[in-house]
Structure 1
Amino acid sequence: MLRFAMLSAALLLPTVAWAQSCSFGVSAMNFGLVDTLSGSSSNSTAALSVNCTGLTLQRILVCPNLGTGTGGATASARQMLSGANHLDYQLYSDSARSAVWGSYAWPYPPMAPAFALTLNAFGSGSSSQTIYGAVLGGQAMTAVPATYLSTFSGSHVEFRYRYSLLNDCSTSAGSVDRPTFTINATVPANCLLAIQNIDFGSNGILGANVDATGEVSVRCTPGTPYTVSLNGGTSGSPPTSRKMSKGAETVTYGLYKDVARSQPWGDASTPGSTVAGSGDGAAHDLTVYGRVPPQTTPSAGVYTDTVVVTVTY
């Protein structure tokens, strides 16, 4: 008679919960040289990268919260600082720079832009996003020449991530990583010139003074000292005896700093004849007073000269 018995074996192992783990990196955002006198914005970008591990084929929601940075912020702009001076800029999640990149934890309405990645069959995944930046226009009268900086680290950066099928970045849920990056820009000293020509009009006999005016408009960055000089024209003549010409014939004229035509306006070759000032971001209109003195009248025709205006700063 045969007898059979069954032997069974069992092993109980603890359940392993594969928590997600993500690491982030953000490149520096460098605006380079920013021309505040142009009135337009200056753009730059930074690259955000993320690498995650966890449960295979699971979706990880990423909420990259960005606060004010060390430069601080107002309701309308973040700021970079240079000592007590500030330069306004903003961060965006779109290339059109219309959607501000914010945080659930800061006092302004925009939140962080949600994005997600799905882990592969090996439980890993990566993604990248672009952070778009713009130094705002309209700062010609406030941004002094300097190098400006804002640093994002610690409480200013709160990149939260968690398993989720939703796109809700309005909460503090999830694990946190805090990468560090910087945003910087340099405002150089700069000046712009605009010119209004001098037209002495149509004249007959040059037996009396013929007066006319032109204008040099100077606009320089705040605190920038400048000097405006006028060269001797095509003939290279002194300030009060420049020459307008028609072929070999000439008409003598002078350029002055004052309405009485007593202060010649020239260049460094004539000491004391230039005009100095200091920029404040606004345009300053300088009148150029011209005079054709009495002289022997040459033949009829159009007489011209070209004077180079130079602003040194």
Structure 2
Amino acid sequence: MRLTLASALACVTVALLAAAQPSLAQALSCSFSINNLNFGTVDSLSGAPARTSANLRASCNGLPNREVVICPNLGSGTGGAKPTTRSMNNSANILEYQLYSDPARLIPWGSYLWPYSPKPPEMNLTLDASGRGSISRQIYGEVFGGQTTAATGSYLSTFSGTHATFLYRYAPSSCYGAVTGSMVHPNFLVTATVAPNCLIATKDVDFGARGVLSSAVDATGQVAVTCTPNTSYTVSLSGGLSNGTPTARKMFKGKETVTYGLYKDPARSQPWGDASTPGSTMPGSGNGQTRYLPVYGRVRPQATPSAGVYTDTVVVTVTY
């Protein structure tokens, strides 16, 4: 009896091991790859957004013809996040952006592991007869326009560890139920570069209607300059159509002229010119805000030409 019982137990044990081996060989495993999101050079003074996208690819091995549910959680990244935005960092400076699950960039790509909404988009993959399968999805990014206070330089946010927690498991299941399954932490970067830039706008110097030019005639115009923070610049004014000196430009009506000057100060003692006249340009440093620079004009007493409209064109140049 003892020999017979031992033989039976041995047969049962061998059968159980043989049955377990295929199941272990077909355990579900998935790997993920994500391209870096590089926004390139961003014009922070423009009101237009900067956009890019990256490809997320999942490859899985498991039971033939089974459906796999993937929950790709993307959190704040090392740059941090607010309820409606994520951030890239450059020292103490930030550049705000967002990741989206749709090409219209209306639905942010979220995570079960952060306090904001919405949650991550669910990815569903059906394995083939050999137990293999792959699926891809785009991650859409947008840097918001009009971030005039973003300083020049390179910006970065890193997604790794808990910032990128991907869960996967066999169906039936859902990303909107209990957060369970096998866990993987893929890595990728979000990067952008804010380049130095300046915008200018002008208001004409209009001396109005005058009679005899027996006394000085003053008028004021304006140059508005907006430059990215930490951008040094100079504003120069050309010599006009006559290529005159800062205090001896000329307005024309045909061959007749009226001589005038442009200055940096209300006393009209500091001529405003270009690099051909050392010290006559206007220096500055950008902070993302618009700087309004008055242009002080003066027509000095001179022989009066015939009546009519006299004009000149002065080119404003911002060098940075």
Give me the TM-score of the superposition, normalised by structure 2.
0.90
Q: Contact conserved, 1:267 with 1:273, CA < 8 A, in 2? A: yes
Alignment of 1:149-228 (within 5 A): 149-169=156-176, 171-228=178-235
TM-aligned CA distance change 1:78 to 1:170, over 3 Å: farther
Q: Find the residue that maps to 2:113 and give its secondary structure.
A: coil
Q: Percent sequence identity over matched residues?
A: 57
Which residue of the other structure, out of 144, 148, 154, is the alignment partner of 1:147?
154
Question: Aligned partner of 1:14: which letter?
Answer: A
Q: Contact conserved, 2:62 with 2:131, CA < 8 A, in 1? A: yes
TM-aligned CA distance change 1:173 to 1:239, over 3 Å: same
* Deviation string, structure 1 residues 196-246 (Cα, Å, up to 9, x no partner): 112222222222222211110001111222211111111111001001112
Q: Find the residue that maps to 2:45 and give its secondary structure.
A: helix
Q: Find the residue that maps to 2:174 and give its secondary structure.
A: coil
Counterparts of 1:75 and 1:52, CA distance in 2: 33
Q: Contact conserved, 2:70 with 2:175, CA < 8 A, in 1? A: no
How many residue pairs match? The answer is 303
Counterparts of 2:272 and 2:174, CA distance in 1: 68
Q: Contact conserved, 1:191 with 1:311, CA < 8 A, in 2? A: yes
Q: Contact conserved, 2:37 with 2:191, CA < 8 A, in 1? A: yes
Counterparts of 1:258 and 1:84, CA distance in 2: 36
Question: Aligned partner of 2:19: which letter?
Answer: P
Q: Which residue number corresponds to residue 6 of structure 1? A: none
Give me the TM-score of the superposition, normalised by structure 1.
0.91
Which residue of the other structure, out of 253, 259, 265, is the alignment partner of 1:246?
253
Deviation at 1:169, TM superposition (A): 4.1
Question: Aligned partner of 1:252: which letter?
Answer: T
Counterparts of 1:145 and 1:171, CA distance in 2: 44
* Deviation string, structure 1 residues 141-174 (Cα, Å, up to 9, x no partner): 2x11110111111222111111113432454311
Q: Contact conserved, 1:104 with 1:169, CA < 8 A, in 2? A: no
Q: Which residue number corresponds to residue 303 of structure 1? A: 310
Q: Which residue number corresponds to residue 4 of structure 2? A: none
TM-aligned CA distance change 1:70 to 1:170, over 3 Å: farther
- Unpaired stretches in structure 1, ≥5 consecutive residues: 1-9
Q: Which residue number corresponds to residue 271 of structure 1? A: 278
Q: Which moved more, 1:187-196 or 1:12-21?
A: 12-21
Counterparts of 2:308 and 2:172, CA distance in 1: 83
Q: Which residue number corresponds to residue 8 of structure 2? A: none
TM-aligned CA distance change 1:168 to 1:269, over 3 Å: same
Higher relative helix content: 2
Q: Which moved more, 1:145-154 or 1:77-86?
A: 77-86
The RMSD of aligned alpha carbons is 1.8
Q: Find the residue that maps to 1:215 and give its secondary structure.
A: strand
